[in-house]
Structure 1
């Protein structure tokens, strides 16, 4: 059973295992620095489907099956799938996973959904309520643009603070602790809603920065650990603007991440050559980076302790149109190496 450290952090006594993981991505991501790390790359943004929404659903179904294969499991071995995405009513997850015939919990944490689903799944496995479960999320540049911003043929100029929604998906398969040779979950800190008063949907990094700083501060306060205990504190995805602001807040909280900090939105693209403004975003951004490069490095023994802090901007098109600010949230998952 999980024990509580401090006010908000759950420590896993049995350390649920990440027995399988996989990531898929689109053409632009395949032109970035992590291209060789992804299990599958798609050249066609439609993935052979008739709509972008169906394409995103296809990514979810495929990435779960890839992760299951690596864990030597099938969909029939799962008791639960925890999934979500950016689209209204989480339709990418609903339609992408319906053929698997597995009980599903639909989750919405915006771009924090990978950390939310992974953390929730770990707690369920740790408790014994679930033996095997999958955590998955996705995003697609074209579906997100259609819902949140402008029609693609509008041709509007992107603000320097804006981020590029990744066409990508990532999945992990969680099993009970004791499986050596795979990464495992040591602790989970579910975050609080933090509102920075940002109203510009093209500045989501700043909107999420306060929540990231709050959750990181909470984790270190609860556990008594410091950034020096970690090889990487991985946020996802603040990109450049949000990362700078988060680190300024953390310094005020007497926490300095320095070279240990990495951000999924800055890892997935080359900002110098790929015209992505401040960097990457979207549920699939942090999911794909975690479930490829980071967990691969952990499995290889190159990273021992990673604090994965998924960040999300909890907005909707309606709330933005009504002039509401954009609240942020961040969830932290401490992952230990093999």
Structure 2
């Protein structure tokens, strides 16, 4: 494991993503990727009496699904890296508590899947562990209540607004084994170009996505065409257009290479999601449900997964602050 360029880590012995599991809600299960998700729920409450408890149950069930699929017990896992969008990441805290696994609670907003994968890979690549779990989640109803308006308010959604995914995705990252390998990571920096519109997350996150993508390419000496796809997490339709424009100004043509989990998970016209999907569970469920399977089947050989996050809180918005963005890149190859 070693640093290259400004902020990229290349793994001498790449960690392996040896297993993955995804869970989604009913709206996500009705989208274009429905057949790829491992489990879907008909009820967003998951039998619980609050949205927040439902998200914790979603996390618990997803991790259990991962353990069952991989044939592992909680005692086989050395660390778990997880986070969510709720205040003080309590959904993850309650969701992982029953497994009794040493826990790193993370907050990277919608970039948390990238953050958890980066830290899990560093733990494996640095020889600190042999088997760890990484993942995240989000819940539409819980996120709307916290960051915008409770559903009962029935506020009008803007055309730039995205639909927070009710979903969760977790992976098993191991030293050795079969599966896609994490060959390099580029942790992102905070990028803030002054966007303050909380109904346009794509515009706030796009500059951070391009900053991380360009840094990764420069650090590794790669070109966009060296990847089958560069896939951001949560930019949605508006954010992807902005990202492609920003990249072009820097001399990089990402047309035909750049895609976004927020664009992939919903059928915008049929499902009325305006600018697409977002939330921690967006990139998590699309990666573990769809992209991971494409890698296993050899339909994708190398991807750059770049989950993106808007690092705001209800308090910062009320105080008139702008929305800082961040993005973490994970280069994944199937050999």
* Bin for the TM-score computed over the shorter chain: over 0.9
* Structure 1 gap segments, 5+ residues each: none
**Runs ≥4 in structure 1, deviation > 6 angstroms?**
none
Query: Comparing 108-117 with 251-260, which one deviates more in the overlay?
Result: 251-260
- Residue 306 of structure 1, CA deviation: 0.5
Task: Return the TM-score normalized by structure 1.
Answer: 0.98
Structure 2, unpaired ranges of 5+: none
TM-superposed deviation, 1:7: 1.4
Q: CA RMSD in A?
A: 0.7
Q: For residues 337 and 45 of structure 1, what CA distance do their matches in structure 2 show?
A: 34
1:72-103, Cα deviation, whole Å (9 max, x unpaired): 21211000000000001101100001000000
Q: Any idea what SS the aligned residue of 1:194 has?
A: coil
Q: Supply the distance in 2 between the matched residues of 1:34 and 1:76 (Cα, whole angstroms).
A: 33
Q: Which residue of 2 aligns with 1:285?
A: 282
Q: What is the distance in 2 between the residues matched to 1:292 and 1:192?
A: 28
Could you tell me how far apart the structure 2 residues matched to 1:51 and 1:127 are?
40
CA apart distance, 1:68 = 2.2
Does the 8 A contact of 1:124 with 1:130 survive in 2? yes
Between the aligned partners of 2:9 and 2:281, the Cα distance in structure 1 is: 25
2:173 is paired with a residue of what secondary structure? strand
- Whether 1:242 aligns to 2:242 is no
Match of 1:13?
12
Cα pair 1:85 1:139 within 8 Å, conserved: yes
2:128 is the counterpart of 1:129: yes
Aligned twin of 1:254: 251
Aligned-partner Cα distance in 1 for 2:282–2:166: 8
1:70 Cα offset (Å): 2.6
- Candidates 187, 197, 207, aligned match of 1:190: 187
The 3-state SS of whatever aligns with 2:46 is coil
Secondary structure (helix, strand or coil) at the match of 1:109 reads coil
Please report the TM-score for the alignment, with normalisation by the length of structure 2: 0.99
Q: 1:271 aligns with which of 245, 268, 273?
A: 268
Residue matched to 1:301: 298
Give the C-alpha shift of residue 28 in structure 1: 0.3
Mapping of 1:113-192 within 5 angstroms?
113-177=112-176, 179-180=177-178, 182-192=179-189
Between the aligned partners of 1:135 and 1:233, the Cα distance in structure 2 is: 21
Bigger shift: residues 213-222 or 66-75: 66-75
- What is the CA deviation profile of residues 216-239 of structure 1, one whole-angstrom value per residue up to 9, with x for unaligned ones? 010000000001110010000100
Pairing 1:53-132 to 2, within 5 Å after superposition:
53-132=52-131
What is the CA–CA distance in structure 1 between the aligned matches of 2:33 and 2:74, rounded to whole Å?
A: 28
- Secondary structure of the residue aligned to 1:196 is coil
Q: Partner of 1:228: helix, strand, or coil?
A: helix
Q: Partner of 2:197: helix, strand, or coil?
A: coil
1:256 Cα deviation after fit:
1.1
Structure 2 counterpart SS, 1:111:
coil
How many Å apart are 1:71 and its aligned residue?
A: 2.3
* Residues 213 and 250, structure 1, Cα contact 8 Å, conserved in 2: yes
Q: CA offset at residue 196 of structure 1?
A: 1.7
Which aligned pairs between 1:317-332 and structure 2 lie closer than 5 A? 317-332=314-329
Alignment length (residue pairs): 335
Q: 1:65–1:74: 8 Å Cα contact kept in structure 2? A: no
Contact between 1:65 and 1:75, CA under 8 Å: does it hold in 2? no
